[in-house]
Amino acid sequence: MNLLSLTFRLTWQSLMNRKGTALLTVLSIALSVILLLGVEKVRIGAKTAFLNTISGTDVVVGARAGAVQLLLYSVFRMGDATANISWKSVKDIEKRADVKWVVPIALGDSHKGFRVMGTSAGYFKHFRYRRNLPLQFQSGKAFDDLYEAVLGADVAKELGYKLGDKIVVAHGAGRVSFGATHKDKPFIVSGILTQTGTPVDQTVHVSMEAIEAIHVGWEGGAAPRGDNIKSADAVRQMNLEPKSATALFVKLKSRIATFSFQRYVNNYRQEPLTAILPGVAFGQLWSILSSVEIALLVISVMVVFTAFLGMMISILASLNERRREIAILRSVGARPVHIFNLFLAEALLLSFAGLMIGFGTVYFLMIFATPLIEQATGLFIELTYPDVREFGLLLFILSGGFLAGLLPAFRAYKTSLADGLIIRT
């Protein structure tokens, strides 16, 4: 039997004599590994979901503003636009030879705290999220009548709506409408979208023409009075071509034309416009949130540190009980370096066992819990093979176990044969 196998055999037998303490140590390390890898998986999943809130769109166009501001109000429905895009400008952009399709959106109204967004029928055909996934309906269909609305999954769930229900849109984006509502022109729920984990879930979708219809007579900013009041049926007979849009989602025929198209929009002479590349803007926005990532990682590392500190204390506390064990090993020929290796092997074995249990638990939970997490929160955590970063974390944890075992090993190394044979009273 070689020295290495003998060392691990003695280590195993020693741990079996202290099963309770060893098991608790392994479990504490496993829990720290679960937390560290779990946070890493959620971080990567959240970042991926964030960066893929909108996909398949090459350029987002809006009024002159910063890239992050335009991204926030057009994609995340947060905040308001500095100005709208005239419909003539929308037509000019649609006519360009390098443009494949344009989906306009119009924001400004709300329904019980959820944003109402006007858009075209192409939105349900062209909009993509995550990794090029299309929107799907859990029930119903897209709007094909002036006063029909499509609800995001969260809107329908939180407000308890179903197909055929009537909803009234409030004027303005606030949660409280202060009586300014378009109650004379209610909408019928025609469809409910499946959950996407994106702002789509919290949006009420109507047609661009519907946005024009409900604002007939509101040109001055106040509710229409007297002769300015038009019934819902009367409005149907009017010209409801949109006058403006809040932003445009643009797909180009070739990505080679992206920068030339962006330059065209940014230098557009009819009105000040901004064109942003969603991927670049997402990167800028995520960098603002990077401090949260760092905080989560630091907390996880501190938990791992605490687990190894507990393991080191546990081994050190057992030293006094194992003085005779050490003395017997020394008396049969074990040298101080063998005792050092024995205690270091114990720390490594405990660390490796905790690491494997934690690693296996994380992937086991991902297999069975990912669909539940996606259903409950909309956050999709993709199940992938361990990457270089994860192996780096595992190596970091194993190195932590090695370092934590050095002090007890050194203390055991210094324990003398004579000290172990002395019976203290």
The residue extents of the domains of the chain are 3-50+289-421, 59-276
Residue 4 has pLDDT above 70, yes or no: no
Residue 152 to residue 154: CA distance in whole angstroms: 6
* More confidently predicted of 140 and 302: 140
Residue 413 has pLDDT above 80, yes or no: no
When pLDDT is averaged across residues 258-273 and rounded to a whole number, the result is: 93
When pLDDT is averaged across residues 216-245 and rounded to a whole number, the result is: 79
Residue 175 has pLDDT above 90, yes or no: no
Determine the pLDDT at residue 201: 92
* More confidently predicted of 365 and 72: 72
pTM of the model: 0.74
Determine the pLDDT at residue 82: 85
When pLDDT is averaged across residues 36-40 and rounded to a whole number, the result is: 82
* Mean per-residue pLDDT of the chain: 83
* More confidently predicted of 3 and 241: 241
Which DSSP string do the residues of 287-342 spell out, in sequence order? HHTHHHHHHHHHHHHHHHHHHHHHHHHHHHHHTTTTHHHHHHHHHTT--HHHHHHH
Per-residue pLDDT band at 315 (split at 50, 70, 90): confident
Determine the pLDDT at residue 419: 52
Relative orientation angle of helices 19-51 and 278-288, to the nearest 10 degrees? 140
Q: What percent of the chain has pLDDT over 90?
A: 36
Residue 401 has pLDDT above 70, yes or no: yes
Contact 345/20 with Cβ under 8 angstroms? no
Find, among 263, 291, 293, the residue nearest to 277 by Cα.
Answer: 263
Per-residue pLDDT band at 311 (split at 50, 70, 90): confident
Q: Which of 71-75, 109-113, 180-184, 327-331 has the lowest mean pLDDT?
A: 327-331
Q: Which of 66-70, 103-107, 229-233 has the lowest mean pLDDT?
A: 229-233
Find, among 307, 313, 323, 350, the residue nearest to 414 by Cα.
Answer: 323
Residue 78 has pLDDT above 50, yes or no: yes
Determine the pLDDT at residue 102: 96
Residue 235 has pLDDT above 80, yes or no: yes
Residue 379 has pLDDT above 70, yes or no: no
Which DSSP string do the residues of 91-129 spell out, in sequence order? HHHHT-TTEEEEEEEEEEEEETTEEEEEE-THHHHH-EE
Residue 296 to residue 9: CA distance in whole angstroms: 39
* More confidently predicted of 391 and 45: 391
Residue 278 to residue 64: CA distance in whole angstroms: 16
* More confidently predicted of 93 and 404: 93
Q: Which residue has the tokens 């879930």?
A: 201
DSSP state of 192: E
Residue 245 to residue 63: CA distance in whole angstroms: 10
If DSSP codes are grouped into helix, strand and coil, which group holds residue 225? coil
AA letter at 300: S
Determine the pLDDT at residue 420: 47
When pLDDT is averaged across residues 127-133 and rounded to a whole number, the result is: 86
If DSSP codes are grouped into helix, strand and coil, which group holds residue 369? helix
Determine the pLDDT at residue 196: 87
When pLDDT is averaged across residues 323-334 and rounded to a whole number, the result is: 70
Per-residue pLDDT band at 32 (split at 50, 70, 90): confident
